[in-house]
């Protein structure tokens, strides 16, 4: 990717949909040659004019013109791709930011609705308290209303959820609170009947100390904060795993491109080797350095291909290992060797080494015995 500044017509593209992308044309395509030259319609640069009838232009001039055109076209294609990727990344980040803002607004709206509902609930309770004494005043000594009773404003009936929540609150108030010692030790606080000391504090021969309501509220708030922090950390891990998965697929696509480029280069090297053999069969003398360079070209291409593929597979396997907990189904390119198999191969090698050393020692003993026998015979 080039670091050259983008031209003005590319800077005018403000969205990824505005970018006019160009297809990648391989090196061995006929349109890149002088005979089958065809300009790209999406490339705005002027195409070279090849005058085959001009005596002042030869094949080298034509080839230079064609090569310059395709070099400029490939450079602009890479710039367009880089600009397209940059705009696409910016659009993705903007969409994520908008989504986060919408979530924050929805949470704030839910909090406001809950606060309004609580206020309405408190107003309803206050109305009920004011209505009860009015009814008692209107009723006579026998409990029957005299004359026309005053109309009392009707209060809305409580729903089942409200009744349940009130009953749960009453149950929580009726439950005895845990003392500070039992909370710290994380043990159940068992009160004793007729005594103000729980079982654990009685064993310690100390009085029970209790938290006030503000302390309990702070503890509940801290638990909620911890839960939200853990949830945010989990979301961050999932986001990082998604980004790594995208990188894995980019590596896979790049690996396929590298293989296609390598096949094209290898086929060209094979063609040069066949041409060299054909010239030899015709008796044409070829310099040794040229022949060696042609033969070594294929090996260089193969070595570079293997190095690039090994590097890419190593990176992809590391990404697969880091994102295995998400169960995204990414395959592992190089199979893992279990540690038990490695130990078995090491033990086998050690045993073979011991056998070889034992056979060498036996041979040495035989040689020494034969020398002693010869000396005695003499």
Q: Which CATH architecture has domain 172-211?
A: Irregular (4.10)
Residue 177 in contact with residue 210, Cβ under 8 Å? yes
The pLDDT tens digits of the residues spanning 51-66 come to: 777 777 777 888 888 8
Nearest to 113 by CA among 102, 105, 125, 101: 105
**329 vs 133, residue with greater confidence:** 329
Task: Return all residues near 114 (Cβ < 8 A) that are at least 6 apart.
Answer: none
- Res. 286 pLDDT band, cuts 50 70 90: confident
Judge whether residue 28 has pLDDT over 80. no
Residue 340: per-residue pLDDT: 56
Q: Compute the Cα dihedral for 343, 346, 351, 352 and give only its sign.
A: positive
Instruction: Give the predicted TM-score (pTM) of the model.
Output: 0.34
Query: Which tens digits make up the pLDDT trace of 319-361?
Result: 888 888 877 777 877 776 565 555 555 555 555 555 655 565 5
pLDDT at 146: 44
Confidence of residue 148 (pLDDT cuts 50, 70, 90): very low
Q: Please, which residues bridge with residue 210 across strands?
A: 179
At residue 161, does pLDDT exceed 50?
no
pLDDT score at 163:
45
């Amino acid at each position: 990717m080039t670091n050259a500044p983008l031209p003005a017509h590319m800077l005018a593209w403000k969205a990824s949909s505005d970018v006019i992308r160009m297809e990648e044309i391989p090196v061995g395509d006929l349109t890149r040659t002088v005979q089958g030259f065809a300009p790209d319609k999406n490339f705005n640069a002027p195409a070279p004019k090849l005058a085959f009838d001009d005596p002042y232009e030869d094949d080298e001039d034509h080839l230079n013109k064609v090569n310059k055109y395709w070099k400029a076209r490939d450079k602009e294609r890479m710039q367009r791709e880089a600009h397209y990727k940059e705009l696409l990344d910016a659009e993705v980040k903007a969409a994520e930011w908008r989504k986060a803002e919408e979530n924050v607004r929805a949470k704030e709206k839910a909090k406001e609705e809950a606060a309004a509902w609580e206020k309405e609930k408190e107003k309803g309770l206050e109305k009920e308290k004011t209505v009860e004494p009015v009814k008692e005043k209107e009723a006579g000594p026998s409990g029957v209303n005299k004359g026309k009773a005053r109309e009392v404003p009707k209060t809305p009936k409580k729903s089942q959820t409200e009744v349940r929540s009130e009953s749960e609150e009453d149950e929580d108030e009726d439950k005895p609170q845990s003392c500070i010692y039992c909370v710290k030790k994380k043990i159940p606080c068992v009160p004793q009947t007729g005594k103000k000391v729980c079982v654990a504090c009685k064993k310690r021969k100390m009085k029970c100390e209790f938290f006030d309501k503000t302390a309990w509220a702070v503890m509940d708030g801290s638990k909620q904060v911890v839960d939200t922090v853990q949830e945010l950390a989990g979301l961050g891990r999932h986001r990082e795993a998604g980004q790594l998965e995208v990188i894995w697929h980019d590596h896979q696509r790049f690996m396929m491109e590298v293989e296609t480029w390598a096949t094209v280069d290898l086929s060209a090297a094979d063609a040069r080797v066949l041409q060299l053999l054909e010239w030899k069969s015709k008796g044409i003398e070829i310099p040794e350095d040229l022949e060696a360079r042609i033969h070594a070209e294929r090996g260089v291409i193969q070595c570079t291909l293997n190095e690039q593929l090994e590097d890419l597979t190593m990176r992809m396997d590391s990404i697969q290992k880091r994102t295995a907990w998400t169960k995204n189904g990414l395959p592992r390119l190089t199979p893992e060797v279990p540690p038990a198999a490695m130990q078995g191969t090491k033990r086998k090698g050690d045993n073979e080494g011991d056998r070889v050393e034992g056979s060498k020692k036996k041979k040495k003993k035989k040689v020494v015995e034969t020398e002693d026998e010869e000396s005695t015979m003499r």
